[in-house]
Amino acid sequence: MPYGIVRLVGAGPGDAQLLTLKAKRHLEQADVIVYDRLISSRLLRFAKPNATLISVGKEPGRHSVHQEDICDLLIDHAKRGHDVVRLKGGDPFVFGRGGEEAQALRREGITCEIIPGISSAIAVPAYAGIPVTHRDVSPSFTVSTGHRSLAADVSLCGQNMQRLQHPEPGTLVVLMGLSNLEQITSQLIHDGLDAKTPAAVIRAGTTAAQEVITGTLHTIALQVRNAKFRSPAILVVGEVVNLRRELTWFENLPLLGHKLFVVGDTREQSAKYADHFEDFGAETLDLSVSDHIQVDKRKLEYLAQKLALDNYPSTETRGVYFTTRLGIELFMHYWINSGRDIRSLHRVQFFIQDQALAMQLRQYGIIPSEDTADCTLWIEMPRSSQTTSLPLTQSLACCEAVSLYELAVTDLPAHEIESFATNTEQAVWITSELAWLLWTRLQMQHKESLHCQDVFLLPELTHLAELIKQQGVTVHMARDAKDIADHLLSALQTG
C-alpha cells in the first residue's frame, strides 16, 4: 500500500475566521485530523463525516500525549495510506514543534507538506491594538519563547532586545511565558532594559475571552498575578504598547464577552450567522439540525415517486408544502442525486411556510405558490412534547403528511456544549421552529449547563415566538447581530 501524506496545518491564533482557504480545503479532505488543545472547535466542523478526529492537547505542565507519541501517530496513519492533517495552533513552524514532526516524517520516507498559519505573535497584539512594528516607534521585532525557565533562555531574549535598542528601539514578543513571567521580566531588566519599558500581557487573544493588562516591565508580573490570568497568554514589550490607547478596536465590539448559541437548520446557515455574530465580538457555538437527524430514505423515494410525472395523469397537478429549510434541502438533493431531471417538476406546485423558504426554492429555479388549495402533500417536521405546531389551514389538513427525518437525540455534542456553557449566562439565536425543537432537546439533556437568559428570533418567526412564550421564556425579535447587541447593551444599562 502506498504511503499517505501528512500536512502540518496552521490553524491560526484562535479566531476561527483567520484560518486560510488552503487549510480549510485540506481539513475538508483529510481522513485523519490530529489537533491541539487550543484549536477552535468550529474548525473541526470542516471535517468530512467519516474523518477520524484525534486530540493530542497539551496543557501547561501536563502533556496528554508526548511529542514522540504524536510523531508515531502521524507516521502510523500515513503508512496506512491516510491523508492526515496535523492541525496546530498559530503557525506550525513558530514554536509549534512542527520542524521536529516534519523531520520525523521525512526519516520514514513520508511526504510532508507545510501550510502556514497566522502566528499569535503578530495576530494577538493586533487584536489588542498593538502593532509589533511602527515606523516612528519600532522598526523591528523579536519573537521568543518563555516556556522554558532556564535563565540562559530568558537572558538571550534580553540580549536580543538590547541589540534591537541600538540604534533604534524594537519590540519583543514572548510566547508561552505566563508561568515564568516574573523571571522573564526580571531577567530583561537585569540585562539592561529600562524597568519603565511599556509591557502588555494579552490572554486568550483573538477570541471573545480576550483580556489585556498593560504596565511596565517592573509592574506587569504583579498586575498579572493579581488578575489571576491563565494561559494562553503572550507578553509584548516595547514602546508600541503605548499605541494601544489609540488603536484599541477588538474590545470595543458590542457583543464582546457575550456567549451566543446559534441554532440553524443546516451547517451553512448556522455558520453564516455565527460568523456574523463573531464579527460583532460574540463567542458562538453553532449547532445545526442537519448534523443530528436520521433521514428516512424510503420516505424520500416515496415523495419522489409521488411527484414524478409518469405517476399521475397529465391533466393533474401535484402540490407539496414545505415547512423547513432542511426539508427542501433533503428533497432537492435526493431528487438530483438520484438522477432525476429538475425540469420534470414543472407540473408540481411548491408551497412554503415563510419567505425565507421561498428564497431557498428560488435558488433551484422554483417559484413557490401562495395559495395552498391545490396542495396534496405536506412535509412535516419531527414533533416534540415541548412544542406544538401551528394549526393547519383547512386545505393543508386534507393533505397527506410525510416526515422525511427524525432528530437523533443520542448524537449531540455534550462535552462541547457543557464546556462552552460553563459558569456564564448565554443567549440563543433560533432560525426556525425546527431549530427550536433541537434546542429544547438540548436543554432536556443539559439542564445543569444551559441557562439562557434570552431567546432571539428572526422577525418572520412571530408565530414561533407565541409558542415559546407559552413556555415562560423571554423572546426578542432581532434582524441581525446589531439588534441583539442593542438589546444586551440596553439590558446592562437598565440593570
The residue type of 470 is Q
Q: What's the pLDDT score for residue 396?
A: 57
- Note whether 216 and 90 are same-domain residues: no
In the set 31, 36, 83, 354, the catalytic residue is 36
110 and 126 inside one domain: no
Catalytic residue among 15, 91, 176, 259: 176
Q: Report the pLDDT averaged over residues 401-425.
A: 67
pLDDT of residue 482: 82
At residue 492, the 3 state secondary structure works out as: helix
CA torsion sign, 380 to 439 to 42 to 477?
positive
Question: Which has the minimum average pLDDT: 123-137, 232-246, 285-299?
Answer: 285-299
Contact yes or no for 189/221 (Cβ under 8 A) = no
- What sign for the dihedral angle of Cα 207, 209, 215, 220? negative
Q: What does the pLDDT read at residue 78?
A: 97
Residue 184 has pLDDT above 90, yes or no: yes
Q: Do 208 and 281 form a contact (C-beta atoms < 8 A)?
A: yes
Question: Which amino acid, one-letter code, is at 206?
Answer: T
Q: Which residues does residue 419 pair with via DSSP β-bridges, in sequence order?
A: none
Bigger pLDDT: 16 or 433?
16
Of the residues 403, 421, 455, the one at which a domain ends: 403
pLDDT at position 461 is 80
Mean pLDDT of 94-98: 92
Same domain for 111 and 46: yes
Q: Confidence class of residue 134 from pLDDT cuts 50, 70 and 90?
A: very high
Q: Do 38 and 187 belong together in one domain?
A: no
DSSP conformation class of 119 = -
- Whether residue 36 lies in the annotated active site: yes
For residue 383, what pLDDT band results from cuts at 50, 70 and 90? low
CA gap 27, 45 in Å, rounded: 9
Express as a percent the part of the chain with pLDDT over 90: 43
Query: CA-to-CA distance for 266 and 312, rounded, in angstroms?
Result: 33
Residue burial 152-182, b: 16+ Cβ < 10 Å; e: rest: ebbeebbebbeebeeeebbbbbbbbbbbbbe
Residue 447, pLDDT above cutoff 80: no
Please give the pLDDT value at position 391. 46
**At residue 78, what is the residue type?**
A
Residues 333 and 481 in one domain: no
Q: 214 with 353, same domain?
A: no
- pLDDT at position 311: 65
Indicate whether 243 and 137 sit together in one domain: yes
Mode of pairing for the β-strands spanning 58-59 and 62-63: antiparallel
CB within 8 Å of 470: residues ≥ 6 apart = none
Question: Mean of the per-residue pLDDT values for the chain?
Answer: 84
Q: For residue 127, is pLDDT > 90?
A: yes
Confidence of residue 149 (pLDDT cuts 50, 70, 90): very low
Tell whether 426 and 281 lie within a shared domain. yes
Strand-by-strand arrangement of the 141-145 sheet: 141-145, 171-175, 233-237, 198-203, 211-216
For residues 431, 434, 362, 302, the Cα torsion angle rounded to the nearest 10 degrees is: 170
Q: For residue 401, what are the CA distances in angstroms to 351, 370, 378, 404?
A: 14, 19, 5, 10
Report how far residue 379's alpha carbon sits from residue 401's, in angstroms, rounded to the nearest whole number.
6
Active site residue 58: yes
pLDDT band at 388 (very low <50, low <70, confident <90, very high): very low
- Terminus-to-terminus CA distance in the chain, angstroms? 66
Q: Which residue has the higher pLDDT, 487 or 220?
A: 220
Provide the strand spans (E) within 221-365.
233-237, 259-264, 283-288, 293-295, 318-322, 348-352
Over residues 471-477, the mean pLDDT reads 83
Residues 100 and 191 in one domain: no
Q: Cell numbers at residue 330, please?
A: 433533503
Closest to 188 in 3D by CA, of 209, 172, 204: 172
Mean pLDDT of 133-156: 76
Strand order across the beta sheet in which 348-352 lies = 348-352, 318-322, 377-380, 400-403
Burial class (CB in 10 A: 0-12, 13-18, 19+), 101: buried
C-alpha cell at 112: 510532508
176 in active site: yes
- 114 shares its domain with 146: no
Pairing of strands 405-407, 293-295: antiparallel
Residue 96 has pLDDT above 70, yes or no: yes
For residue 348, give the C-alpha cell: 408540481
The CATH number that applies at residue 232 is: 3.30.950.10
> Which of 72-76, 352-356, 458-462, 468-472 has maximum average pLDDT?
72-76
> Considering 74, 91, 118, which residue would you say is the last residue of a domain?
118
SS3 31: coil
Peptide bond connecting 167 to the previous residue in cis, omega within 30 degrees of 0: yes
225 Cβ partners below 8 Å, 6+ apart? 182
Among 22, 24, 58, 306, the active-site one is 58
Measured in degrees and rounded to the nearest 5, phi and psi for residue 298 equal -65, -40
Distance CA 483, CA 343 (A): 41
Confidence at residue 30, expressed as pLDDT on a 0 to 100 scale: 97
Q: Say yes or no to pLDDT of 10 above 70.
A: yes
| pLDDT at res. 59 | 59
**Full DSSP string of 74-104:** HHHHHHTT-EEEEEESB-TTSSSSHHHHHHH
Looking at residue 473, its pLDDT comes to 80
In this structure, the answer to whether residues 440 and 303 fall within a common structural domain is: no
Residue-level pLDDT at 80: 96
**156-177 confidence digits (pLDDT tens):** 555 555 554 545 679 999 999 9
For residue range 190-243, list pLDDT tens digits in order.
988 999 999 999 999 999 889 999 999 999 999 999 999 998 999 999 999 999
Residue 384: predicted pLDDT:
47
Which CATH number does the domain housing residue 320 bear? 3.40.50
Q: Which of 332, 334, 360, 337 is nearest to 348 (CA)?
A: 332
Q: How many domains does the chain have?
A: 4
Task: Return the amino acid letter for 421.
Answer: A
What's the domain range around 321? 297-403
* 11 in Cβ contact with 39 (< 8 Å): yes
Amino acid at 390: L
Grade residue 400 by pLDDT with cuts at 50, 70 and 90. confident
Q: Choose one of 374, 403, 432: the last residue of a domain.
A: 403
Query: What pLDDT shows up at residue 251?
Result: 93
Residue 390 has pLDDT above 90, yes or no: no
Q: Are 350 and 377 in contact (CB under 8 A)?
A: no
CATH code of the domain in which 9 resides: 3.40.1010.10
What average pLDDT does range 54-66 have in this prediction? 71
Question: How much is the pLDDT for 216?
Answer: 97
Element (H, E) at 254: none
Residues 6 or more apart in contact with residue 203 via CB below 8 angstroms:
209, 210, 211, 212, 229, 230, 231, 232, 233
- Determine the pLDDT at residue 392: 47
**By C-alpha distance, which of 328, 331, 324 is closest to 432?**
324
Mean pLDDT within 347-356: 80
Q: Are residues 426 and 441 in the same domain?
A: yes
